[in-house]
Structure 1
Amino acid sequence: MKRLILICWLVLLALSVHAQSETPRPVVEIGVVLDGPQPLQEGIREQLLQELAVLTAREFDVRFPEDREIIGDGTVAAARRGLNALYRDRAVHIVIAGGPIASQAVLVQARQGDGLSKPTIAPIVLDVGLQDAPLHQGASGIHNLSYIVFPSDVRSDVQVFRQVVEFERLGVVVDSRIHDALPELSEKILATIRELGVQAVIVPATADVDALLNRMTGVDAVYFAHLLPLPSDEVRVLAEGLIDRGLPSFANHAQQVEQGMLVSLRSMDDRRRLLRRVALNIQSMLLGEPAAKLPVVLQRTDRLTLNDATVRRLNLSPSWSVMTEAVLVNQAEVAVDRSLSLTSTIREAVDRSRDLVAQQRSVDAGRAAVAQARARLLPQVEAAATAVVLDDALGSPQQAERQTDASLQLTQVIYSDEARAGWQAEAQLQRGRESALAKLRLDVIQAAASAYLNLLRAQTLERVQKENLDLTRSNLELARVRQQIGISGPAEVHRWESQIATARKAVIDANARRNVAQIEVNRVLDQPLESDFGTMEAGLFDDGLATHDPRFTRFIANKRNFRAFRDFMTEDGLSTAPELVEIDAAIAARRRLLTAAGRAHWLPTLALQGDLTRNVSRDGVGAEFDPAGGESTWSVGLRASLPLFSGGGKFAAQARARHEVRQLEEQRAGLAQRLGARIRAALHAAGASYAGISLSEDAAVASARNLELVEDAYGRGVLSILDLLDAQNAAIVAEQTAANAVYDFLLDQMEVERSIGKSYLYAPDEDREVWFQRATHYLEQAHTRVADPEGETR
C-alpha cells in the first residue's frame, strides 16, 4: 500500500511540474520614447534584451515592440507627447525614456500634469539639481518614477585634459538638443571650467560633422560634454578633422578614443553597466517593488584612455604620470626582438653569465695548477751550455784558457711524498673549484628566476595600482553625485581628490619598480640594460616545475607525508650540496698535506739523476792537451735526502695542518647544519605559499564582492566614506596577494631547489623522473617506519 501511495505521489508531482512548464509566461511590453530621429546606439536594444533575458526569462516574456517606439523631435514637449501616448496604450506595461531629453521630459511629467500613470525609467539624468529631480533616501520617492543619475564630472575631465595637454581656450561641444532643452546645464559647464582658470565657449552640435568642424575657431582644444549621436564612421571623420586642425580632443566615451579622439575618462563598461541597471530596475518593477524606491545613483567606472597615434600626430608629449596611468590604444608597433619565459630566462642566464665565465676560467686555471703540481713527479730534462774564459796563467789540460761545454741533465723523482701530496691536494682543490662553479650556476639560476618572477610581480602590481586609480576616480565621481543630491558635503570630494593623488603616485612608483625589475632581468642576461622584451606568465603547471607532476601534491598532502618529504629533501640535499662538496674537497686536501707533514720526519725523498757533458771548443793555454775523459763525459746517480733538523719547521707545519683540518671539519659541521635548516625552512615556506594560493584567491573574490556591496550602499547614502575606503583598501590588498600568490610560491620553490643544490628547471627530464621515483620510494619506506611524534607541526 505504501508503495502504491509513493508511486501516485510521484505521478502527481510529475504532472504538476509538467503543468507548470506548460504555463505561458506573462507578456510584458515595454514602450520607448527616443530623443530624436537618430536610432538607438548600435547594439543597445540587443544588449538590453540580453540583460533582461538573463534576469527575467523564467518568469516573464519581455518584448520591445517596434510600434511602441516613439521618436521625438529633440524637444521636451515632443517627448512628453510620446510619453502620454504610451501611457494611454493599454498594451504597454513599462515606459523607458531613451535619452537625456526624454529623461528630462519624464521629470517634468512627474512634477507637472497628471504624473506618471505607468512605471517609468529615466536612465540619463545629467544633473539632479538643475533638472530638479526628486530625491528621497537615495530614490525618487515619486510614484512610478525611477531615474538614474548619469552625470559628467566636468571638473575632473578638464583637470585630466590639462594634464595631457596645455590649453587656454576650450571649445565645449554639447548636443544642440540638450542645449536647447537644458540651457542651464551648458551655463553650469562653462562656470565649472572657468573656475579652473580656462576660457571656454559653448559649441552646439548636430549630426552635421562638417558644420561642427567649421565652428572650431578661436579655440585650442575641444571638450565633448555630451555623447553625440554619430555613427562610428562619422566619429572618425570628426576626429580626423580635429587632428588636421591641430586640436586635441577629450571624448565622452573610450570607444571614440579608439576611433581617433585624443583622450577620455569614460570606461567602455559604462554603457553595459547602465543597461544592467535598467534591466535590474525592470525586473524589480515586475516583481512588485515600487519604482519610487529604486536607487538612483549609478557609479561610473572611470579609466584614462589615450590614443597614442593621435598623440604622435599632434606632436604631444604627455607627462610620465599620464603615460603610466593611461590605457594606450593605437600604439605604434614596437619591434620586440625576444620574448622570455621563466625557463628560457634561466637557460639564457646560464649561457651568458659573466660570473660563470669568470668562474669557468678559474676552473681552467685550476686544471693547469693540477698539471703543474703533477709535473714534479715526471722526468725533468735540462740542457745547458757553459763558456769559460780564464787568465792564461790558470789554463791547464783540465780547463783550457777558453773552453765551451754543452750538457744535458735528466732528473726523475722516484719517490717524494711532499710532491705527491702537493699533486693530490691540488686535485682535491680542483674538485672544490668545480663545486664552486656548480654552486655559482645554481646562484645564477636562482637570480635569473627571481629577477623574472619579480618582474612579473611588478607588472601585476602596476596593473592593480592602475585599477585602483580607476576605481578611485569612479568613487570621486560618486562622491560628487552624493554631494549633488545632498547625501554628503564637499569634504568627501576633497578626500577622494587626495586619494587620487595618492593613487597616481602609487601608479608611478609601480611603473618605476617594473622598470627596475626589467633592468635587473637584462643585467642577469647580460643584455643592454633598457632593452625591451616580451614576457610570458609563469604558472604552477609549467614544464620543468615540480608542481607540473601530480605526484608533487602527494608529498605535501598531509602532515605525515610532508614530514617524510622534508626528511628526504634534507638527506638528498646534504648528500650532493655543492657547498659541502667544496669544503669536503678542502678537508681532503688539508688531510693529505697533514699526512705528508707527518711523513716528512722519517720518509726520505729518492731521485735519479743523469748527466751528459760534451766539450764543444777549447782554445788558448791548455788547449793543446786532450780533455780529461775525452770530449764527452756522463754520470748517473741515485740520491736519497732526508732533512734531519729544520729549526722545528716540520713540527710547526704538521701542527698547522692539523689545526686547519679541524677548523675545516668544524666549519663543515656548521655548514651542514645551516644547509639542513635552510632546506627545511624553504620547504615550510613553499608549503605555506602553495596552500595560500587558493586561499588568497578566495579572499580576493570575497573582498571584491564586499567592495561591490559597500559601493552600492555608499551610493545610496547608507555607509560612509570610511567604510568604502576600508573596503577598497581591503580589496586592493587581497587582489595583490592573490595575484602574487603564484609568484610567491615559485620564488619559494626556487629557494627549495637552491637549498638542495639542484635545479629541476634546468635538469633533463630523465633526472627529474629519477628524483620523483626516489622521493616516492622514500615516502613509501617512511610509512613503514616510526610514526610522527605527537605535537609535531608542519
Structure 2
Amino acid sequence: MIKVKLFLMLFFATVVLGADSLSQEIKVGIIMDAQTSGYQKIKDELSTELKLMTQSEFNVHFVNPIIIDWSIIKAQAALEKLQNNPDIDLIITIGLVSANIALKETKLTKPTFAPYLLHFEQQPIVVKQNLNYLYFSTPFDIALKNFLDVVNFKNMTLIVDEKLSSSLPEAMKSLKKSALEKGINLHLFVINSKNSFKQIPLDTQAVMLTPLPSLDFESKKELIDDLIKRRIPSYSFGDDLSVYDGVMISSFSRENISRRIRQLALNIHSVLRGEDPRQLPNKFEDKHQLIINLKTTNKIGVYPPFDILNKSKLIEDDKESQGDEFSLSDVAKLAIKNNLNIIAGELEIKLEDENIKEIRSVLLPQVTGDITYTQHNSDNIYVKNGFYAHKSSTGAIKLHQVLFSEKALAALDIQKKFKTASVAQQRTLEMDIVEQTSTLFLDILIAQTQLKVEQENLKLTKSNLDMAQARVDAGSSDLSELYHWESRIATSKQGVLQVKAVLEQAQDALNLILHRPITSRIKTIPATLDDPSLLISNKELLSLITNENEIKLINNYFVKEGLKSASELQMYDAYIAAQKRKLVSQSRAYYSPDIELVGEMSRVFDEKRNPSTGTSLEDQTNWSASFVLSLPLYEGSARSARFSESQLKLQQLQLSKDYQKNSIEQQIRYDLHTIRSSYPSIKLTKQAAKAAKKSFNLVQNNYAKGTRSMSDLLIAQNETILADQKSASAIYKFLKDLMNLQRDIGKFDFFMDESERKLYTNRFSQIINNSDNQSSPISKVK
C-alpha cells in the first residue's frame, strides 16, 4: 500500500513538474512614452490580460519599462537596446512617439507591437516584417462631417503635437486636400511646451485636437478653457482630451481602451503560437459615437440640431450645480420663508388685526368737531324781525360714547375668533406648501434616478444591437433581430426624453413654490433614511415595534396626535365658537338695550343780527348731555329668522367638523397602511433588482453565444429595467409616503426642536413599553 502511494505521488509530481517545464518563458520589453498613470494602467491591464490568456502555454514576464519622456532620440535608443537584448523575446510600445519610431524602423529583428498608432485614412498602410500595430482608425472625412453637422465654419485649425507632426507630413497634406474639397480651409498648428496656443490664428472658427503629449494636463486644460473663452468649437481625436475635460465634441468611447488591449493580447498570443505578425489585424475598429458636452456648447453659444442631439451621447449642462446644495429639510424651510401664498396669508392675518381694531373702535369715544357759517337772505321775514341772524359763525364739539352694546361686543368677539380661524388656515396652508415642496423635491430625485435607469437601458439596448449584429454576421440569426433592437433603441430614447420632461417639469414647479426663477436649477442632496432631520433616522424607535398589537397602538397614537394638532379642526372650532357667540348675541337682542352717552358743546363766534331786536348770541357757549337707551321692540319676523339661520349654520359647521375629523383619521390610517408597504419594499426591491441583474447577465451572455433567443433577452431586460426603476426610487417613494403622513398628522420633523423631538420619542417609547407591560401577564397565563 505504501508503494502504491509513493508511486502515485511520484506520478503526479512528474506530471505537474512536466507541465511547468513545458511552459515557455517569454520576456516582454516595454517602451513607454512617459511615466503617467494612464500608460501605467494600460501596461498593467495588458499584463493581466496576456497572462490569463497564455497561462497554460507560456510564462509571460514584463520587464521594467523604458521611459523615453516623449523623446524621439530616446525612443530610437530604447528600441535598438531591446532589439539587441538576447533576453527579450518581444517588444511593446505604449504611446504615440514610440509607436511611430517602431513604424519607421527599417529592420525589426524581434516581434514588435505598437497598439497606439495615430493614423488617418489618407495615410498608406505599412506592412513590415515583425511589426504588428493597431492604429486609431479615425475617419477624418466622417469626423469633419459630424463637426459640420453641429456647427458651421469655413476656417479650421488642426492642433498637432510637435513630436507627432514630423511623423505625419504626407498625411497632413492629404487632410488639407480633403478638407478643401468640403470648402474648409485647414490650418496646421504645431504645438509644444514652449510656444503658446494663444498663437492660434485669429480667423479660426473651429479646432480639431490630436493627442498632445508635449503638454501636461494643466496646459491642456488651459488650452480648452482658452478655446471656450474665445468661443471656438472643438473636436477631439482619441482619449488624450475628451468632452469630460471640456472639449465640445468627441467620438471616442473609453471602453475602446479595454477592447484594444484585448485585441493586442490576442495578436501577441497568435505570434507566440507561430503566426506572422504581418498577417494579424492592424486596423482596430473603435466604437464611435458622437459625444457632445452641452455645458461647453452653451458657453460658446452653439446649439446643436435636435436630430444630432437625439443620436448623440450628451454630457449634460449641470444646472443643478449652480448655487448652494439643498436637502429635503432645506427646501421645506425655504418654502415657509419664500412662498408667495404663505407671505400673502401672513398679510391676511395682519388685515384681521386691523379689522379687529376697526370693530373695537365702535366701543371707544367718538368725538366730532363742526364749524358752521350761515347766511340768510336779508329780506327774510325772520331776519328782519331779528329771530335769525343775517350772518353767523358757530363751532361745536360732539361726543358719542357707547356705554353698552351687545351687538358691538359680539362683533368684536366674533372678529377675534375669525382671526383664530385665519391663523389655523394659515397653518394649514403652510403644511400643504411643505408637503407639496417635499413631494416635488422627492419627485426630482426620483426623476433623476429614473433618468439614469433609462440611460442605462438605452446603453444595454445598444449593446444588444451589437450582439445581434454579430449573430447576423455569424449566420445564427436574421435581420429581423437588428430591426427589433433598432426599434427598441428608438423606444428607449423616447423613455429618456419623457423622464427628462418629467424632471424639468418638477424642477419648474419647485421653483414656483420656492419663488425662484422658473428656469433656475438647484443642486439636490439625495434624501436618505439616515437624515438626522427625520425621526425615522432613529433606528431604536423602529426596533421597538415587534408585533401587530404594537403597530395598532402606534397607529392609534398617530391618529390621536393628528386630531389634536389638526389645524383644520382648530379652524372649525374657531368658526363654531364665533357662531355660538353670534347666537348668544341674537338671543340677548330681545332684552339687552344699547346704552349711549351723547354730548355737545357749541359756541357762536360771530353774528350779524337786526339791532332793533336788542338781542345777540355772539360769544355765547351752550352745552348738552344725554343718555340714550335703544331697544328694537318689533322687527316683524326678522329677529327670529336671523336666530334660526344662525342655529342652522351652527349645526352645519358641527357636521362639517365631524366629517373633517373622520376624514383626517381615515387619511392618517391610509398613510400608515401605505407606509407598511413602502418601507419593507426598500429592501425587497433591492433584492429583486440584484436577482434580475444576475438573470439578465446570464441571458445576455447566452444570447451572445446563440443559446438563448431574442425574446428571452427582451424579457430579462424588461424585468431588469423594471426592478432597477423600483429599487432606485423605493426610498424616495417611502419618504413621499412619510411626508404625506406627517402632513396629515400636522407635524413635520423638520420643524421640531430638540425638546420636541425628545418628548415625541419618549411618548413613542412609552406606548410600546406600556404595551409590553400589559401583555406580559397574558403571556404568562398562556
Per the normalisation by structure 1, the TM-score is 0.69
> Does structure 2 retain, via aligned residues, the 8 Å contact 1:29–1:65?
no
1:773 partnered with 2:748: no
Aligned-partner residue type, residue 770 of structure 1: L
Return the offset for 1:429: 0.3
SS of equivalent to 1:215: helix
- Name which of structure 1's ranges 637-646 and 761-770 shifts more when overlaid on structure 2: 761-770
> Does structure 1 retain, via aligned residues, the 8 Å contact 2:321–2:522?
no
1:667 partnered with 2:656: yes
CA–CA distance in structure 2, aligned partners of residues 686 and 330 of structure 1: 35
Aligned-partner residue type, residue 715 of structure 1: A
SS of equivalent to 1:407: strand
Return the offset for 1:314: 9.9
Where in structure 2 are the equivalents of 1:186-585 lying within 5 Å?
Answer: 208-220=167-179, 251=237, 263=249, 267-272=253-258, 305-306=291-292, 317-320=303-306, 322-323=308-309, 336-390=322-376, 392-395=380-383, 400-554=389-543, 558-585=547-574
> Does structure 1 retain, via aligned residues, the 8 Å contact 2:27–2:62?
no
RMSD: 5.2
Return the offset for 1:337: 3.4
Specify whether residues 484 and 33 from structure 1 end up closer, same or farther in structure 2 by C-alpha distance, changes over 3 A only: farther
CA–CA distance in structure 1, aligned partners of residues 57 and 621 of structure 2: 126
CA–CA distance in structure 2, aligned partners of residues 431 and 71 of structure 1: 88
CA–CA distance in structure 2, aligned partners of residues 777 and 64 of structure 1: 69
SS of equivalent to 2:176: coil
Specify whether residues 680 and 531 from structure 1 end up closer, same or farther in structure 2 by C-alpha distance, changes over 3 A only: same
Return the offset for 1:323: 4.5
- Name which of structure 1's ranges 403-412 and 728-737 shifts more when overlaid on structure 2: 403-412
Specify whether residues 721 and 711 from structure 1 end up closer, same or farther in structure 2 by C-alpha distance, changes over 3 A only: same
CA–CA distance in structure 2, aligned partners of residues 565 and 160 of structure 1: 67
> Does structure 2 retain, via aligned residues, the 8 Å contact 1:300–1:474?
no
CA–CA distance in structure 2, aligned partners of residues 334 and 680 of structure 1: 37
Return the offset for 1:596: 0.8
Return the offset for 1:400: 3.6
Residue 586 of structure 2: aligned partner: 597
Aligned-partner residue type, residue 380 of structure 1: Q
1:708 partnered with 2:697: yes
Describe the superposition over 1:157-182 as per-residue Cα deviations: whole angstroms up to 9, x where unpaired.
Answer: 989958964899xxxxxxxxxxxxxx
> Does structure 2 retain, via aligned residues, the 8 Å contact 1:606–1:638?
yes
Specify whether residues 304 and 692 from structure 1 end up closer, same or farther in structure 2 by C-alpha distance, changes over 3 A only: farther
Residue 90 of structure 2: aligned partner: 70
> Does structure 2 retain, via aligned residues, the 8 Å contact 1:213–1:238?
no
Return the offset for 1:762: 3.1
> Does structure 2 retain, via aligned residues, the 8 Å contact 1:235–1:259?
no
CA–CA distance in structure 2, aligned partners of residues 364 and 323 of structure 1: 53
CA–CA distance in structure 2, aligned partners of residues 483 and 667 of structure 1: 70
- What are the ranges of 5 or more consecutive residues in structure 2 without an aligned counterpart? 1-12, 64-86, 93-101, 118-131, 154-163, 185-209, 269-284
SS of equivalent to 2:591: coil
SS of equivalent to 2:573: helix
- What are the ranges of 5 or more consecutive residues in structure 1 without an aligned counterpart? 1-19, 84-96, 102-122, 127-150, 169-204, 223-228, 283-298, 790-794
Return the offset for 1:598: 1.1
Describe the superposition over 1:131-185 as per-residue Cα deviations: whole angstroms up to 9, x where unpaired.
Answer: xxxxxxxxxxxxxxxxxxxx9999xx989958964899xxxxxxxxxxxxxxxxx
Return the offset for 1:683: 2.3
> Does structure 2 retain, via aligned residues, the 8 Å contact 1:324–1:508?
no
SS of equivalent to 1:761: helix
> Does structure 2 retain, via aligned residues, the 8 Å contact 1:411–1:609?
yes
SS of equivalent to 1:500: helix
CA–CA distance in structure 2, aligned partners of residues 426 and 70 of structure 1: 97
Return the offset for 1:717: 0.4
CA–CA distance in structure 1, aligned partners of residues 374 and 679 of structure 2: 85
Aligned-partner residue type, residue 744 of structure 1: K
Aligned-partner residue type, residue 669 of structure 1: D
Return the offset for 1:260: 8.6
Specify whether residues 313 and 541 from structure 1 end up closer, same or farther in structure 2 by C-alpha distance, changes over 3 A only: closer
CA–CA distance in structure 2, aligned partners of residues 303 and 768 of structure 1: 54
SS of equivalent to 1:413: strand
Specify whether residues 61 and 217 from structure 1 end up closer, same or farther in structure 2 by C-alpha distance, changes over 3 A only: closer
Describe the superposition over 1:578-618 as per-residue Cα deviations: whole angstroms up to 9, x where unpaired.
Answer: 11111111111111001111111122222222322223233
CA–CA distance in structure 2, aligned partners of residues 667 and 773 of structure 1: 34
> Does structure 2 retain, via aligned residues, the 8 Å contact 1:209–1:234?
no
SS of equivalent to 1:409: strand
SS of equivalent to 1:637: strand
Residue 655 of structure 1: aligned partner: 644
Return the offset for 1:712: 0.4
CA–CA distance in structure 2, aligned partners of residues 158 and 475 of structure 1: 25
Aligned-partner residue type, residue 763 of structure 2: R
Return the offset for 1:713: 0.7
CA–CA distance in structure 2, aligned partners of residues 768 and 231 of structure 1: 60
SS of equivalent to 2:749: coil
SS of equivalent to 2:649: helix
Residue 689 of structure 1: aligned partner: 678
Describe the superposition over 1:175-201 as per-residue Cα deviations: whole angstroms up to 9, x where unpaired.
Answer: xxxxxxxxxxxxxxxxxxxxxxxxxxx
CA–CA distance in structure 1, aligned partners of residues 133 and 717 of structure 2: 27
Specify whether residues 576 and 313 from structure 1 end up closer, same or farther in structure 2 by C-alpha distance, changes over 3 A only: closer
Specify whether residues 536 and 722 from structure 1 end up closer, same or farther in structure 2 by C-alpha distance, changes over 3 A only: same
Per the normalisation by structure 2, the TM-score is 0.70
Return the offset for 1:56: 13
CA–CA distance in structure 1, aligned partners of residues 683 and 521 of structure 2: 33
Specify whether residues 100 and 615 from structure 1 end up closer, same or farther in structure 2 by C-alpha distance, changes over 3 A only: closer
Specify whether residues 305 and 705 from structure 1 end up closer, same or farther in structure 2 by C-alpha distance, changes over 3 A only: farther
> Does structure 1 retain, via aligned residues, the 8 Å contact 2:511–2:517?
yes
CA–CA distance in structure 2, aligned partners of residues 165 and 32 of structure 1: 48
Aligned-partner residue type, residue 669 of structure 2: R
> Does structure 1 retain, via aligned residues, the 8 Å contact 2:362–2:402?
yes
Describe the superposition over 1:495-533 as per-residue Cα deviations: whole angstroms up to 9, x where unpaired.
Answer: 111111122222222222222222222211212211233
Aligned-partner residue type, residue 664 of structure 1: L
Return the offset for 1:568: 1.1
Return the offset for 1:780: 3.2
SS of equivalent to 1:612: strand
Aligned-partner residue type, residue 43 of structure 1: K
Specify whether residues 702 and 304 from structure 1 end up closer, same or farther in structure 2 by C-alpha distance, changes over 3 A only: farther
Specify whether residues 754 and 82 from structure 1 end up closer, same or farther in structure 2 by C-alpha distance, changes over 3 A only: same
Specify whether residues 466 and 698 from structure 1 end up closer, same or farther in structure 2 by C-alpha distance, changes over 3 A only: same
- Name which of structure 1's ranges 504-513 and 478-487 shifts more when overlaid on structure 2: 504-513
CA–CA distance in structure 1, aligned partners of residues 115 and 623 of structure 2: 121
> Does structure 2 retain, via aligned residues, the 8 Å contact 1:614–1:631?
yes
Residue 104 of structure 1: aligned partner: none
> Does structure 1 retain, via aligned residues, the 8 Å contact 2:28–2:60?
no
> Does structure 2 retain, via aligned residues, the 8 Å contact 1:251–1:257?
no
Describe the superposition over 1:695-753 as per-residue Cα deviations: whole angstroms up to 9, x where unpaired.
Answer: 11222222222221111011000111111122112211211211111211221121112
Aligned-partner residue type, residue 498 of structure 1: S
Aligned-partner residue type, residue 560 of structure 1: N
> Does structure 2 retain, via aligned residues, the 8 Å contact 1:32–1:68?
yes
